């Protein structure tokens, strides 16, 4: 990516030279986060599969928890970043915030899908069904659909400024579902396990350590994907603007 | 260890989803590289006139 990003300074436009370097410095390089994620992931797998004790009732299937919860955490974090970036975009109208919002939303959809799939894989042997119409599951599925809608809305609007403005409003409103997902197991009757209770964490110490390592590793992976996805989006937009300018110059 | 095959399958599916997305990003990056080379060619062509 570095070689690509450093490509010909002549290709620079006011958007590219002004926006892109600041975006890069703000997020760190994709390579730094990629290395952090690559180092953290095997450690997280060791803690999930070997360090954490075998759960007495569910057996080894419970270990899915150490990747399911971090996936859900990253999804929430990604949608929060979209929420903040959307708000800042509406306030400042700087393109880099829109780039950050769309990149984070796409990764949020990926990790929500992962949380849903892993939850389903855990539920089959434990609940005896791949899916049940439980409040936590319904609100999570709704969250996934809302952000898929966000991405579809973006692709449906051609004018870039209008697209960014509408998406920013959508990105702010859509975030309302995140606390609903989180509190659904407290507000409504549910069969979903409650780990984070009002009285603290409902976990064995070694299980908690494995969970925290998993959360850290998945956060590094999110940052690596976000910085790479944002960089791609920035160059994609710069190329689109350049192509338009070159075509206009050709016609003149 | 009980259900070990099932656990392996679950973790494998998770990694396939993540690696699939990384591959999608890699393909997008490769396409962008092509379009940048194309744009560089266009600029050189216009400057040469």
Please tell me the distance in Å from B49's CA to the nearest CA on chain A: 11
Query: Of B3, B40, B43, which has the smallest distance from its Cβ to A59's Cβ?
Result: B3
Res A242: pLDDT: 87
> Which residues of B fall within a CB distance of 8 Å from A249?
46
Residues making up chain B, counted from first to last: 49
Which residue(s) pair with A179 in the sheet? none
- A34-251 CATH fold: 1.20.120
> Which residues of B fall within a CB distance of 8 Å from A67?
11, 14
ipTM: 0.88
Query: Of B10, B25, B36, which has the smallest distance from its Cβ to A7's Cβ?
Result: B36
Res A192: pLDDT: 79
Query: Of B18, B28, B43, which has the smallest distance from its Cβ to A232's Cβ?
Result: B28
Round to whole Å and give the CA distance between A115 and B30: 29
Please tell me the distance in Å from A173's CA to the nearest CA on chain B: 26
Q: Which residues contact A93 (CB under 8 A, 6 or more apart)?
A: none
- Give residue limits of the domains in chain A: 34-251
CA of B10: how far to CAs of A53, A117, B7, in Å? 18, 9, 5
- At B2-48, the pLDDT tens digits run 678 889 999 999 999 999 999 999 999 999 989 888 888 888 887 77
Residue of B nearest to A68 (CA): B14
Could you list the pLDDT tens digit for every one of the 252 residues in chain A?
A: 333 333 333 434 433 433 443 444 445 567 788 899 999 999 999 999 989 888 888 888 889 999 999 999 999 999 999 999 999 999 999 899 999 999 999 999 999 999 999 999 999 988 888 988 989 999 999 999 999 999 999 999 988 899 999 999 999 999 999 999 898 888 888 877 777 766 667 778 899 999 999 999 999 999 999 999 999 999 999 888 888 888 888 777
Strands (E), B1-49: none
Res A199: pLDDT: 67
């Amino acid at each position: 990516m570095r070689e690509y990003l450093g490509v010909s300074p002549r290709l620079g436009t006011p958007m590219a030279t002004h926006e892109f370097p600041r975006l890069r410095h703000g997020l760190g390089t994709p390579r730094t986060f990629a290395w952090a994620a690559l180092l953290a992931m095997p450690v997280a797998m060791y803690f999930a599969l070997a360090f954490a004790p075998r759960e007495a009732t569910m057996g080894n299937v419970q270990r899915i928890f150490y990747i399911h919860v971090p996936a859900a955490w990253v999804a929430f974090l990604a949608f929060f970043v979209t929420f903040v970036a959307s708000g800042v975009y509406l306030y400042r109208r700087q393109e880099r915030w829109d780039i950050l919002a769309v990149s984070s939303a796409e990764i949020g959809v990926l990790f929500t899908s992962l949380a849903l799939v892993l939850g389903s894989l855990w539920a089959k042997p434990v609940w005896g069904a791949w899916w049940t119409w439980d409040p936590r599951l319904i609100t999570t599925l709704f969250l996934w659909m809302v952000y898929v809608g966000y991405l579809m809305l973006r692709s449906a609007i051609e004018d870039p400024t209008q697209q960014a403005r509408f998406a920013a409003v959508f990105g702010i409103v859509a975030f309302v579902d995140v606390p609903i997902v989180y509190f659904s197991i407290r507000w409504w009757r549910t069969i979903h396990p409650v780990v984070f209770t009002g009285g603290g964490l409902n976990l064995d110490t070694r299980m908690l350590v494995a969970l925290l390592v998993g959360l850290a590793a998945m956060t590094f992976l999110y940052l690596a994907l976000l910085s790479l996805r944002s960089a791609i989006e920035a160059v994609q937009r710069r190329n689109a603007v350049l192509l338009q300018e070159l075509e206009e110059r050709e016609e003149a | 260890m009980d259900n070990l095959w099932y656990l392996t399958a679950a973790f494998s599916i998770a990694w396939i989803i993540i690696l699939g997305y990384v591959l999608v990003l890699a393909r997008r990056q490769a396409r962008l590289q092509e379009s940048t080379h194309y744009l560089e060619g266009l600029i050189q062509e216009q400057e040469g006139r």
